[in-house]
Amino acid sequence: MPTPPPPSQPSSSPSLPSSPSSPSAPLTERQEARRRRILQASARLARRGGFDAVQMREVAETSNVALGTLYRYFPSKVHLLVATMQDQLQHMHETLHKRPPQETEAAARVAETLMRAFRALQREPQLADAMVRALNFADRSVSPEVDTVSRLTTAIILDAMGLEGPPTPEQLSAVRVIEHTWHSALITWLSGRASIAQVKIDIETVCRLIDE
């Protein structure tokens, strides 16, 4: 039968959800510490050598955790890296909150915000490689986690827009398209097919969808 769509697994969260958003298991202190060690090791290895350098055995050793335990916390390498991205995005969001962009036009504020994020990624291109490749390679089993990243990104963009009331459906569509462009532009940059300048242009172009 050519109809193999995965029957959607009801997510048998055993006890350790990799996303901190779903509090289905409170995690003891030591567990929280383990989780943090793992994420730190992941980011460190990623910074050094990108996606390929994040090897599960090495992450386990570095974070003083057995391989099996690592897999209990993060069921796959992609899960791990997407969680790492969540982590970094969270930082980014806080940083942006402290120093919001000053432009007058909403479109310009969004563009500036994304360019700030882009500059941050340029400082650690290997880390960016690991996170973005994982995000784009993720299959359905990582959907919840990827969705969390997506919501975070949306929040950042909406923040930058600085709306009064709730966003209109049109605005939400624009934000979605901006996110698409953001992710895809990052990929083309990481794989060396687009220059930094080109990414800037693409971001500015898509941000035109906002006001008008």
Partner DNA sequence: GTCAATCCTGAAACTTGTTCTAGGTTAGCG
Partner DNA sequence: CGCTAACCTAGAACAAGTTTCAGGATTGAC
Residue (46 or 89) nearer to DNA, CB:
46
Report what 187 binds from DNA, a second copy, none; CB cut-off 5-8 Å by kind: a second copy
- When asked if residue 196 is in the footprint of a second copy (CB under 8 A), the reply is no
Q: What distance in Å separates the CA atoms of residue 91 and residue 20, rounded to the nearest whole number?
A: 15
Site track for DNA across 23-62, x = CB under 7 A: --x--x-xx--x-----------------x-xxxx-----
Q: Which residues contact 41 (CB under 8 A, 6 or more apart)?
A: 58, 59, 62, 63
Interface pick for a second copy out of 61, 87, 103, 179 (rule CB under 8 A): 179
Minimum Å gap between C-beta 71 and DNA is 4
Q: Which of residues 74-133 bind DNA (CB under 7 A)?
A: 75-78
Q: Which residues touch 157 (CB under 8 Å, ≥6 apart)?
A: 110, 113, 114, 175, 178, 179
Q: What are phi and psi of 80, to 5 degrees?
A: -60, -45
Whether the Cβ atoms of residue 38 and residue 73 lie closer than 8 Å to each other? yes
CB 209 within 8 A of CB 168: no
The reply to whether 72 sits near DNA by the rule CB under 7 A is yes
163 torsion bin: left (phi>0), alpha (psi -120 to 50), beta (else): beta
Q: Does 21 bind DNA (CB under 7 A)?
A: no
66, interface contact from a second copy, DNA, none, CB < 5-8 Å by kind: DNA
Place of tokens 């995690």: 27
d(CA 14, CA 131): 25
Given the rule CB under 8 A, which residues bind a second copy? 2, 4-5, 8, 47-49, 51, 125-126, 129, 133, 136-140, 142-143, 146-147, 150, 173-174, 176-177, 179-181, 183-185, 187-188, 191-193, 198, 201-202, 205-206, 208-209, 212
Given the rule CB under 7 A, which residues bind DNA? 14-16, 25, 28, 30-31, 34, 52, 54-57, 64-69, 71-72, 75-78
